[in-house]
Amino acid sequence: MSMDGATAAGWRAGILAAVLIAGGGGYWLGQRGGPATDAASGQSGRKILYWYDPMVPQEHYDNPGALSSMGMKTQPKYADDGTVNGAAPGVSIDPAAIQNLGIRIVPAQMGSLAATLNVTGSIDFNQRDVAIIQARSGGFVSRVYARAPGDVVRAGTPIADVQLPEWGGAQTEFLAVRRLSRPDLTAAARQRLKLLGMSDGLIASIERSGRTNGTVTITSPISGAIQTLDVRAGMTLGQGQTLAQVAGIGTVWLNAAVPEAQAGSVRVGQSASATLTAFPGDTFGGRIIAILPTTQADSRTLTVRIELANRSGRLRPGMFANVALGGRGSTVLLVPSEAVIRTGTRTIVMLATGNGRYQPAEVRTGRESGRQTEILEGLAVDEKVVASGQFLLDSEASLTGIPTRKLGGAK
């Protein structure tokens, strides 16, 4: 009897366990079946693939009441790629979730884009303002003055005293001819002295004194900095030999490096302003006088030459400068720069097509200034773009295969 009681108790326990398992399995199947049924139809008759959070679109859920890893309530993802009643394809976002996602929408509008390009450059000598000091006749150096390369000199500053025997002989002949009282011969002799390089002042001095002067003091014809000085006392000079080279500093060049992509925005005659670390608060104005014909291969920049006035002599070659190249503003189609997504292979914006729907659109951009970007192609006036939260939408569009509107697709 005890064995039969034990056996009966075992059967009753087994039956109870089977009932519980069957009930639990039915409940589990019911739970699985609920979403599956909804996924097959949905309240709107559209097929639901899964539920997801647009902030983390890579997470998929079967339960419409689930919360994502971000703690947000999930929403349905439909199988029709967001195309309903002929609407254009795009990402669909519940209007109630737009604020939570931080989405900000602005229209593309016509506006004026300031034509200011900020670049860097350095000061250099004005190579058009250079004086080459040479010996007009053969001779030798009798005296040199205390000068050295790098010295800044004024016009008329003496460089060296040079004795020129040829000049002495020509002056003697001139005085002899002058005593003949033959105006025609005197004029010819005077012209010869000029051709030898004598100044009118020196010739007049010889006529007044009646004495020759074969020693000439060579001076700097311009104010500037001595670049080279190849003269020493006792040197023998040949005709045309260079003694010194002086670069003027009344004006200087500012060589600015402009990116190759911005080459079309600069032109000769364009205004420019420069600021230097050495003189905070001061601005130096000038104009572009040349755009050099070659591009730097390593930096992909071209050199723009700007001429700056340097009356005070403060601008010294080698100084670093920040340069603003100005120009006339133009009316163009603009969007906020933050709305533009550059992937490396293309440039897109997220279009707001209405009713909480968004679609990526390819664009071609131009200049950028003041946090505004010029749109050359791909958008029409008043088309709305997403200026904040667009990266979330672009990520969702990429994951779900939403097609991008190509260039030329604007209205």
- Written in H, E and C, the secondary structure of 312-362 is CCCCCCCCEEEEEECCCCEEEEEEEHHHCEECCCCEEEEEEEECCEEEEEE
317 or 10: whose pLDDT is higher? 317
Question: Pairing relation of β-strands 139-144 and 271-276?
Answer: unpaired
Average pLDDT over residues 268-294: 92
Among the residue ranges 2-6, 25-29, 71-75, the one predicted with the least confidence is 25-29
Confidence of residue 321 (pLDDT cuts 50, 70, 90): very high
Tell me what the pLDDT averaged over the chain comes to. Answer: 80
Model confidence at 23, in pLDDT bands (50, 70, 90)? very low
Fold of 91-114+330-400: 2.40.420
Instruction: Please compute the mean of the pLDDT values over residues 330-357 and round it to a whole number.
Output: 84
Q: Determine the pLDDT at residue 344.
A: 77
- Which one of 3.30.1370.110, 2.40.160.40, 2.40.30.170, 3.40.630.40 gives the CATH number of domain 117-126+249-325? 2.40.30.170
Banded pLDDT at 226 (limits 50, 70, 90) = very high
What's residue 41's pLDDT? 45
What is the pLDDT at residue 400? Answer: 54
Per-residue model confidence (pLDDT) at position 406: 82
The first and second tokens of residue 115, run together, are 């034509």
Domain ranges of the chain: 2-78, 91-114+330-400, 117-126+249-325, 135-243
Q: Any idea which of 146-155, 233-242, 322-331 has the lowest mean pLDDT? A: 322-331
pLDDT, residue 215, reads 86
* 3.90.700.10, 2.40.50.100, 1.10.10.10, 3.20.20.70: CATH of 135-243: 2.40.50.100
Quick one: pLDDT at residue 397? 58
pLDDT number for residue 221: 93
pLDDT at 239: 87
